Amino acid sequence: MLFLAIIGLLVFLLAFFSVLSARQSGGGWKFLATVAVLSAALTIFAIIKLPYWPYNQSHTAKTTATSSSATSSSNTTAKIGSSEVVFNEANQKKAAATTQLKEDSILKQLKANYKSMGSVTLDRKTKTFTVTPTNAKYIKSLKTVKQYPSKNQKAITTITQNYESLSTSIKKHLGKNYTVQLLQPDTNNPLLSVKDGEVVTNNFK
């Protein structure tokens, strides 16, 4: 706008002096007068639009502030979204670590409790605690109970109730969908399987 104002002012001055000269000489001054008026109007318009005036400075400041506010808002939203993702991931990792610690603690207790009977393992993917009989006397007892179930109903009931109680306790400490199973001696087949306190498999019968 400054360049336009300067050009307009120069044209106005040239046209103005040309009008004065034409009138003195009696030449065609009307056209020059029109050019002078138009150049004056253009010059005034350009001067008004210069950024040095308070109105234009205020308008520019508002536009800049609006743009900055919009950009800031967009950046803030992006940061919030990113923070939520990081927060959720952190919570998931923390929950997984807590669950693993609980699983390890329970597995340690089971290994100690069933040490005289056999080994205990945990499959974390299937959430299954497995008791594998290794003690010769215990293996013989299980085979006898399985071979003569009608004569050993009391033993079957006791074993079943113990595993139901164990499963219920695991559910209380670790949550749902955990299975506890007792394997048949010398096989990988479950003799008894309990999930969330409910018997799933019972091969004693």
Q: Six-digit token pair at 46? A: 């350009």
Q: What is the pLDDT of residues 155-166, one digit of tens each?
A: 999 999 999 999
Tens-place pLDDT, residues 177-195: 999 999 999 889 999 999 9
Flag whether pLDDT at 139 surpasses 60: yes
115: pLDDT strictly greater than 60:
yes
- What mean pLDDT comes out for the span 17-29? 55
CA–CA separation, 205 and 191 (whole Å):
10
Residue 40 confidence (pLDDT) above 70: no
Mean pLDDT for 147-174 is 95
pTM over 0.85: no
Domain ranges of the chain: 2-50, 114-202
Give the pLDDT of residue 129.
Answer: 97
Read off the tokens for 21: 């000269």
Neighbours of 192 (CB within 10 A): 23
Q: Are strands 190-195 and 198-202 parallel, antiparallel or unpaired?
A: antiparallel
